[in-house]
Chain A
Amino acid sequence: MLNCREVSQKASLYLDGELPWRERVAMRVHLLMCNDCRRFMRQLSGLIRAIPFMHRQASPEEVDNVLAHVSKSSGDTVSADSGPGGASVSSARPRLRLVQGSGGRGEEGGSDEVEAVFNEIRTATGSVSNMFRAYARHPAVLIATWERVKSVMLQGSLPATLKEAIALVISHDNDCEYCVEHHPRNLAALGMGQEEITRLLADPLAGNFTPKERALLVLARQANSDPHGASVDTLDLARRTGASDIEIIEALAVMELFTSLNRFLSTLGIPLEEAASACSIPSRG
Chain B
Amino acid sequence: MVKDGDNGSGKAAGDEYFASLVRDHHRALIALAVPIVGASEAEEVVQNAWLKAYRAIDSFEGRAAIRTWLSRIVINEARMQLRSRKREVFLEDQAGDFGSADALDDCFREDGHWRAAPVSWSMDSPEGLLMGVDLMDCLDRLLQRMSGNQRAVLEMRDSNELSFDDICNTLDISASNARVLLHRARAELFKLVNHYQETGEC
Contact = CB atoms under 8 A, between A and B. Distances in A.
Interface of A: 3-6, 8-9, 11-13, 16, 18, 36-37, 39-40, 43-44, 46-58, 62-63, 66-67, 69-70, 73-74, 77-79, 81, 83-86, 172-173, 175, 180-181, 184, 194-199, 201-206, 218, 222, 225-226, 229-230, 233-234
B6 interface: no
Given A39-B118, A39-B120, A55 B28 contact: yes
Given A63-B23, A74-B51, A83-B80, A36 B114 contact: yes
B26 interface: yes
Contacts, number: 203
A36 B121 contact: no
B58 interface: yes
Contacts of B19: 63, 67
A3 B112 contact: yes
A51 B23 CA distance: 17
A225 B169 CA distance: 11
Interface of B: 1-3, 15, 18-19, 22-24, 26-28, 31, 44, 47-48, 50-56, 58-60, 64, 67, 69, 72-73, 76-77, 79-81, 83-85, 102, 104-105, 107-108, 111-114, 117-118, 120-121, 123, 126-131, 136, 139, 154, 158-161, 165-166, 168-169, 172, 174, 179, 182-183, 186-187, 189-190, 193-194
- Dominant secondary structure at the B interface: helix
B1 A57 contact: no
Nearest to B41: A84
B68 to A, nearest CB: 10
A196 B80 CA distance: 21
A140 B101 CA distance: 61
Contacts of B130: 47, 50-51, 53-54
B126 A175 contact: no
Given A40-B117, A46-B123, A52-B161, A57 B23 contact: yes
Contacts of B121: 43, 46
B2 A69 contact: no
Contact of B179 (A18, A40, A70, A204): A18
B11 to A, nearest CB: 11
A39 B186 contact: no
A205 B117 contact: no
